[in-house]
């Protein structure tokens, strides 16, 4: 009986029509960005969206450069200190009054100094060789606008030396007559004045009392064209000689007595 049932089942299965297999669909190889491990189709997996060129440029910007004018305003050279800020007693010769009238009576040595100072200033090339090399060399190594000639009293030499060090620290060359050891001639001092760019007076009570300082400042102002007239100096010796001559001239001549 069992054999009959098995045979009947086989015969029924044999009578069923065969189901045709679907054709095998072969897809082209996917690009790396199209690969989807979840098995989604190509239509559902889209490439990553790229921002347009303009949008990309707007998101990545180079650091903003300030305009040239703004850059110049933010980067400034260090401010140079003025000599006046270093020592208020230092004054440019064009800002002071020499204190001389057109005619002034001075000692003979002061008048001689004024004459020799002017000669050296007008003929500086002839007297530069008389300046010590340690003073002349740095003087020649800087431009004229950085050469500072100081007029002052010998009693203020220590303070003037300190002011000179501050001026040298700013790149200037400084000359004061007392820096010469031994002292330079009056013509040599005038030669340094004649090649200077700036002339300064170290204005102190000692300087105000010094006739040498006053005559030097007055001569310097005249040579720089600041004063139209040069002071006329009369030495005390000349003044006394003139008075004596006038006294002798005005004295009555004694009447000679008769010879006995």
pLDDT digits (tens, 9 = 90+) for 68-95: 444 344 444 444 444 456 789 999 999 9
On whether residue 207 sits in a domain, the answer given is yes
- Our count of domains for the chain comes to 1
pLDDT at residue 228, rounded to an integer: 85
On whether residue 45 sits in a domain, the answer given is no
pLDDT at residue 230, rounded to an integer: 83
On whether residue 9 sits in a domain, the answer given is no
pLDDT at residue 169 greater than cutoff 50: yes
Q: What is the mean pLDDT of the chain?
A: 77
pLDDT at residue 22, rounded to an integer: 60
On whether residue 198 sits in a domain, the answer given is yes
Residue 204: which domain range?
Answer: 84-242
Convert the pLDDT of each residue in 157-166 to its tens digit.
999 999 999 9
On whether residue 130 sits in a domain, the answer given is yes
pLDDT at residue 19 greater than cutoff 70: no
On whether residue 1 sits in a domain, the answer given is no
**Measured between alpha carbons, how far is residue 190 from residues 3, 50, 179, 249 in Å?**
150, 83, 14, 40
On whether residue 8 sits in a domain, the answer given is no
On whether residue 43 sits in a domain, the answer given is no
Spatial CB neighbours of 180, under 8 Å, sequence gap ≥ 6 = 131, 132, 135, 188, 189
pLDDT at residue 255 greater than cutoff 70: no
Higher-confidence residue of 134 and 46: namely 134
Pairwise CA distance, residues 12 & 51, whole Å: 65
> 117 falls in which pLDDT band (50, 70, 90)?
very high
Percent of the chain with pLDDT over 90: 48
């Amino acid at each position: 009986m069992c054999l009959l049932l098995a045979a009947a089942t086989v015969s029924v299965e044999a009578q069923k029509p065969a189901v045709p297999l679907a054709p095998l669909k072969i897809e082209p190889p996917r690009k790396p960005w199209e690969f989807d491990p979840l098995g989604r189709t190509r239509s559902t997996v889209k490439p990553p969206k790229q921002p347009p060129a303009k949008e990309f440029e707007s998101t990545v910007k180079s650091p903003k450069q300030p305009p040239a004018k703004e850059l110049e305003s933010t980067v400034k050279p260090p401010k140079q200190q003025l000599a006046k800020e270093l020592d208020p007693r230092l004054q440019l010769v064009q800002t002071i009054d020499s204190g001389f009238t057109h005619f002034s009576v001075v000692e003979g040595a002061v008048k001689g100094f004024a004459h020799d100072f002017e000669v050296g200033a007008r003929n500086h090339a002839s007297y530069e060789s008389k300046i010590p090399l340690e003073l002349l060399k740095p003087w020649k190594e800087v431009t004229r606008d950085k050469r500072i000639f100081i007029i002052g009293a010998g009693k203020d030499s220590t303070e003037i030396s300190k002011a000179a060090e501050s001026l040298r620290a700013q790149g200037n060359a400084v000359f004061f007559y007392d820096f010469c050891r031994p002292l330079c001639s009056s013509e040599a001092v005038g030669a340094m004045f004649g090649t200077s760019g700036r002339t300064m007076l170290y204005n102190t009570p000692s300087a105000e009392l010094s006739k040498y300082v006053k005559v030097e400042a007055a001569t310097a102002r005249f040579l720089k064209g600041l004063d139209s007239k040069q002071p006329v100096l009369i030495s005390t010796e000349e003044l006394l000689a003139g008075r004596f001559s006038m006294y002798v001239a005005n004295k009555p001549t004694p009447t000679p007595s008769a010879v006995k």
